[in-house]
Each structure stands twice: as C-alpha cells, then as structure tokens.
Amino acid sequence: MCAKTAPSLKYKRVVLKLSGEVLRGKGSETIDAAILERMCEQVKEIHDLGVQVCVVIGGGNIFRGLQGAKRGVDRTTGDYMGMLATVINGLAIMDCLEKMGVKTRVQSAIPMNQIAEPFIMRRAMRHLEKGRVVIFVAGTGNPYFSTDTTAALRASELHADIIMKATKVDGIYDKDPKKHADAVKYDELTFIDALKQRLNVMDSTAFSLCLDNNVPILVFNLDDEHAIRKAVAGDKIGTLVHG
Ligand code: UDP
C-alpha cells in the first residue's frame, strides 16, 4: 500500500491516460506551459490524497504515425517517431510534477537508459507503493499500437482500478455533440452497450483489452476544475464504461 491510505476513495490505483492533444494550447505551442501546470496540479491533488497514480501520455500534439504515413513516411518509422513524441511529453510532465514536489519515475517501453528506466512491471508496482507517480512513455514499444492500448495494457498488468481517459469532450455521446445539438451524453455504459452502439470509446485493440480484463474506463474532460479528484472520489463526472 502507499504511505498514505485513502479509504474514502473509490479508486486507489489509477491509470491516467492523457492524450498529447490535451497538452497543446490554442496557440502554436506543442506543449502549453499553463495547460501542463494545470494538468500536473490535478495529478498532484489525487497523489496527495494517497491515490497511486500512473500516467500514460500520448504524443498526438507532436507526431502520429498515421499522419506521417499520409505524408509518405513509412508507417513503422512514423510510429517510432510517435513513440518518441510521447517521451518528450513524459519528460515535460516529470519535470513539472517534480517542481511541485511530487516524486516521479519515468518508465519507457523502448530502452533509453540515460533518460528513463525501462518498463519493469514489478518495479513500477514498487514505485506506486512508495508514493511515486509513474509516467509510462514510448507507448507499448511496438508500432501499429496506440497509447490507449498502452493504458489498457499497463492497467491490466498493474491491476489498476480504472483507466481515466482525459479528452476534450466531457464524456461519451450517442452521436457527435459537435455536429448534433440533440446529442445525449451517457453517464454510464456497459462494454456491451458501447460495442452494440459502436461508440468510439477507445481504439478496438485498447477496448477489447479493457473488456477482456474487466478494466473500467472513465472518459472525462480535464478542463473541469478538480475533475480527477472528483472522479476518484466517485462523483458523477464524464462517462463510465464498465463490465
Ligand atoms: N505509438 C505506437 N505504438 C504505441 C503507442 C504509440 O506506434 O504503443 C505511436 C503511434 O504512431 C501514435 C503515436 O505514437 O499515433 C502517438 O500516440 P497516440 O496517437 O496514442 O497519442 P495521443 O493520440 O494519445 O496523443
């Protein structure tokens, strides 16, 4: 267990999936310093409550393999570029959290000893027990995967209570809320409902990992103040997809 226990919390070990896009501001900056700080404050908030926190960071604000492929970059090469992009974001999060006094460890799925530990499940577990925030970078280390799949994989390996997927929308809707004014937001859904209605919760590889291993997914908007704290306390925010 971590140093400070938090019995009133609904979730005690969480995998927070942050897409790279969340880090991008309205301007041209790939990593907006103010957004980064607000995001890390939210992580610190639940960490201080005693929640064991893993962060899986995406790279979409810098590079995505699929985007590269459209411009003629070999898909596998592009995916490695995307994975390296997640390392840049992960280091930014590490730096920001450490400056706030939160102890962190970065674990990379692609060995790069000078800047991150290799991913070792048991070591990650130990860091969590010692109250360190573990930041997973370089995705799964394999091309043709995503950081959503990384989150599903790490959550399964580490027996996390939930994946919290921060997005730019505040949950899952029956249709695109940007295009349809009458779109209805779901508070809760089962995996089967989401499949039947073909709702795009995560990519299919990530989704089926969560389904098979019964890892609930909370989709929520990080712009909500204290969103993560509310979520770990069990308040109704976003959309919860469960077994
Ligand atoms: N990526 C990959 N394998 C992985 C994780 C990521 O090849 O296991 C590559 C892929 O090109 C992806 C990019 O890294 O597009 C950035 O990750 P992702 O698109 O998941 O980031 P996000 O959309 O969450 O910012």
Question: Which CATH number covers residue 141?
Answer: 3.40.1160.10
**Residue 147 near ligand 1, beta carbon < 6 Å:** yes
CA 148 to ligand 1: nearest atom: 20
Q: Compute, in degrees rounded to 10, the torsion defined by CA atoms 151, 223, 37, 166.
A: 0
At 192 the three-state DSSP class reads: helix
- DSSP assignment, residue 6? -
How many structural domains comprise the chain?
1
Positions at the binding site for UMP: 59, 79, 140-147
- Residue from 146, 207, 219, 222 to probe ligand 1 pocket by mutation (most atoms less than 8 Å from CB): 146
Query: How far apart are the CA of 58 and the centre of ligand 1, in A?
Result: 6
- DSSP assignment, residue 15? E
CA 141 to ligand 1: nearest atom: 8
pLDDT in tens, 211-241: 999 999 999 998 888 999 999 999 999 999 9
| Confidence at residue 189, expressed as pLDDT on a 0 to 100 scale | 95
Is position 1 within any domain? no
Positions at the binding site: 17-20, 59-60, 64, 79, 140-147, 167, 173, 176
Is position 3 within any domain? no
pLDDT in tens, 191-208: 999 999 989 889 999 999
Is position 143 within any domain? yes
28-66 burial, b for 16+ CB within 10 Å, e for fewer?
eebbbeebbeebbebbbebbebbbbbbbbbbbbbbbbbe
**Residue 90 near ligand 1, beta carbon < 6 Å:** no
Between 16-25, 40-49, 113-122, 142-151, the lowest mean confidence (pLDDT) is in: 16-25
CA distances from 73 to 7, 64, 65, 219, 223 (A): 50, 11, 8, 32, 34
Is position 67 within any domain? yes
Range of the domain at 51: 13-242
CA 149 to ligand 1: nearest atom: 8
The answer to whether the Cα torsion of 58, 63, 65, 70 is positive or negative is positive
Q: Which amino acid would we find at residue 115?
A: I
Q: Are the C-beta atoms of residues 136 and 41 closer than 8 Å to each other?
A: no
How many CB atoms lie under 10 A from the CB of residue 207? Answer: 21
| Confidence at residue 1, expressed as pLDDT on a 0 to 100 scale | 44
Burial of residue 73 (CB within 10 Å: 0-12, 13-18, 19+) is middle
- Residue from 39, 56, 66, 79 to probe ligand 1 pocket by mutation (most atoms less than 8 Å from CB): 79
Is position 94 within any domain? yes
pLDDT in tens, 82-109: 999 999 999 999 999 999 999 999 999 9
Is position 2 within any domain? no
Query: How far apart are the CA of 202 and the centre of ligand 1, in A?
Result: 12
CB neighbour list of residue 163: distance below 8 Å, 6 or more residues apart: 14, 15, 16, 17, 151, 152, 155, 210, 215, 216, 217, 218
Burial of residue 181 (CB within 10 Å: 0-12, 13-18, 19+) is exposed
Is position 49 within any domain? yes
What's the whole-model pTM score?
0.95
Is position 7 within any domain? no
Nearest to 207 by CA among 124, 125, 145, 158: 145
